[in-house]
Structure 1
Amino acid sequence: MRILSGLIGFAWLCIALPQNAEAADKRNCTAEEREQANKQLMAIAGNSGLQNEISRYHAPFGLPAFSFQGNEQILYQGGYIMAHDQDLMTSIWVTYRLTSIDLDQSSGNIRVECPRADPRLKRGASATTTDYDEPIYDQGHMANDADLKDNLLQQVNSYVMSNMSPQHGCFNRGIWLSMEHLTRRWAEAYSEVYVTSGAIFDRDGQPGRDEDDNALRMRSRNGKTRVAVPSHFFKSIARVESGRLQTITFILDHDNDFDGTAWSDVRQKVVDAIVPVKEVELMAGLDLYPALAGDLIKESLTGSEWDFSRAGPNSGGTCKI
């Protein structure tokens, strides 16, 4: 994710803090890394010109538009953009550009975990790690850290709790992880893709997002029920081809089904989850590509225009059913 590196006056935001490579494939962030990552977030939050530059890079076709219920806020990071809902205590979408260069520069970098409250949000307006102290759900990344491993601070900033959403273990470690693997393989195959992932809150089956007050909430061990649990999750992947935007979109039921760990186990379920963009837009109350006329979008409804042979295994076998 290159967006910050070329901006005059902001080169420090991309400092190359050491990865401290160990035999293990992951570690926790250091106090210095956490501090520098928070400084990066606050610097972006205070600079509208930088936010516009990030939007042009990650969302050249326009940010997803939605009908406000009054609690949403657009938050900008170097590696992605999110729309956070302070009542639901999660983001309803994230969007970012992912390139083959990003992935090449991620090679060999370990996972650096840094879960923490979002420093840009007031106390009580964002989930905390305490909210996820409960036995059912994973802290599911909306913008996953593996897509951001080419830049340490951007990876660390995928661990703000505003980027987390409650996900069943078998979902997060299973089909959702498989789709994350597949997205990276598509970025390699097509040089770059644009990724929009989101949470859907639609348990009543009626058009449009459910009212926030009606959302299912998970219960933490302290008895609080602050964070809303999505009914579905979606991904929409796009690439530019012959002057048009080639898109493919998926809706996945948020359940705890164990589908297997091999890509061959889950591939058909992923293919079966392909839907028209309009179905996501109807259920979630969004306009995913607001800056493009319909004739500039070529939508795949069968998956034939995308290579489904490239995904890797997931870790779904570690989940509890």
Structure 2
Amino acid sequence: MARKGRKGRKQKQSKGLLYLIILICIVCICYEPIAGALHINLPAAVTELSEKTPVKATSTEAISVKNVLYPAPLKNTPEQILYRKGYTVSYNKETKIPNWVAWELTPEKLIERESRTDKFMPDPDLPESQTVTTDDYKRSGMDRGHMCPAGDNRWHWKAMQESFYMTNICPQNHNLNRGDWKELEEACRLWAKKEGKIYIVCGPVLYRQKHRTIGKKHKITVPEAFFKVILCTNSNPPKAIGFIYKNTSGNHPLDAYVNSVDEVERITGMDFFPALPDNIEKRAEATYNLNLWGKR
């Protein structure tokens, strides 16, 4: 009986060791897929936050990185970076308008899956004391002007909804908003369709002067002008172009507003597309030629 007991214990130990080896093998095999799944399911805000600070690229292969979209961090200017489905905004809590709004436009994003909502909303990521509402625009004589247009966000319901957050809006002259500014937005969509992908950054221009404000509850700064810069890295060589629009009524052709990106940087004090390789950035930003983009 004693021999049988010892034999039984040995068999149990052997089975236990076998089960342990099998368990270790299963863990090793499944570890990488599980880790990958966990990484994929990270919240978008976490994964995108790591891309906030532009990283200087060292080769033309790095042009496609998402960081190429963002201007360099601003100096002596409040900015809160807010990531959205269709764009990224640098919000200024003092002026109550964005410093800049940046997005990537591709032919896929030109597919109109959603209708325009026209539902302007306070930004849910801001404290209530800072949230601009549509009431602040009432009887101001100014339009709620989109920086990233609703027309660039019809590819997804959430992108459309977030395009109406008030952090993406500036007080804009009615005729400018419905006229020449809209024509530039339409031109950008044509360029994205033609080129395959373009990067766009736009926002207000605040000159060194006392600014007009609107709003009873929140004092919203009225920009003196607006800028827009566009970069295409698919072309050979890469090309860029800039525009400055005074915040007034106007009816002028597109070429009346054209500037080099360097000139827009001088006017705004911003550094656009800092992740481009230095030689490409210097060449693309120094010159402009509207004819290279194709006439509307």
Instruction: Give the TM-score normalised by structure 2.
Output: 0.76
Give aligned-pair identity as a percent.
Answer: 27
| Residue number in structure 1 paired with 2:195 | 190
Letter in 1 for 2:242: T
Number of aligned residue pairs: 246
Give the aligned partner of residue 207 of structure 1: none
- Aligned residue number for residue 230 of structure 1: 223
Q: Distance in 2 between matches of 1:58 and 1:163?
A: 24
Where does residue 294 of structure 2 map in the other structure?
Answer: 307
For structure 1, which segment, 158-167 or 124-133, has the greater mean C-alpha deviation from structure 2 after superposition? 124-133
SS, match of residue 128 in structure 2: coil
Give 3-state SS (helix, strand or coil) of 1:113's partner.
Answer: coil
RMSD of Structure 2 on Structure 1 (CA) = 2.4
User: In structure 1, what is the equivalent of residue 165 of structure 2?
Assistant: 160
* Counterpart position of 1:51: 49
Residue 64 (str. 1) matches residue 71 (str. 2): yes
Gaps of at least 5 residues in structure 1 are 1-6, 11-42, 205-213, 260-265, 310-321
- CA gap of 1:89–1:152, structure 2 versus 1, over 3 A, is same
The answer as to whether partners of 2:69 and 2:200 remain within 8 angstroms in 1 is no
Q: Which moved more, 1:124-133 or 1:183-192?
A: 124-133
The equivalent of 1:175 in structure 2 is 180
Instruction: State the shift of 1:93 in Å.
Output: 0.7
Query: CA contact under 8 A between 1:65 and 1:286: conserved in structure 2?
Result: yes
What secondary structure does 2:103 align onto?
strand
Q: Is the 8 A contact 1:271 1:302 kept in 2?
A: no
Find out whether 1:82 has 2:80 as its counterpart. Answer: no
Instruction: Report how far residue 186 of structure 1 moved.
Output: 0.5
Q: Deviations over 1:155-177 (max 9, x none)?
A: 10011111110001001000010
Q: CA–CA distance in 1 between the matches of 2:53 and 2:163?
A: 17
Match of 1:276? 260
Where does 1:210-225 land on structure 2 (aligned, <5 Å)?
Answer: 214-218=210-214, 220=215, 223-224=216-217
Q: Which amino acid aligns with 1:296?
A: I
* 1:137 lines up with 2:142 in the alignment: yes
Larger Rg: 2
CA distance in 1, matches of 2:72, 2:173: 27
The corresponding residue for 1:285 is 269
Offset at residue 52 of structure 1 (A)? 3.6
User: Relative to structure 1, is the Cα distance of residues 152 and 193 closer, same or farther in structure 2, using a 3 angstrom cutoff?
Assistant: same
Question: Unaligned stretches of 5+ in structure 2?
Answer: 1-38, 55-63
Amino acid at match of 1:254: N
- Offset, 1:114: 2.4
Q: CA deviation at 1:62?
A: 5.1
CA offset digits 1:24-43 (Å, max 9, x no partner):
xxxxxxxxxxxxxxxxxxx6
Verify the 8 A CA contact 2:52 2:67 in the aligned structure 1.
Answer: no
CA displacement at 1:48 relative to structure 2: 2.5
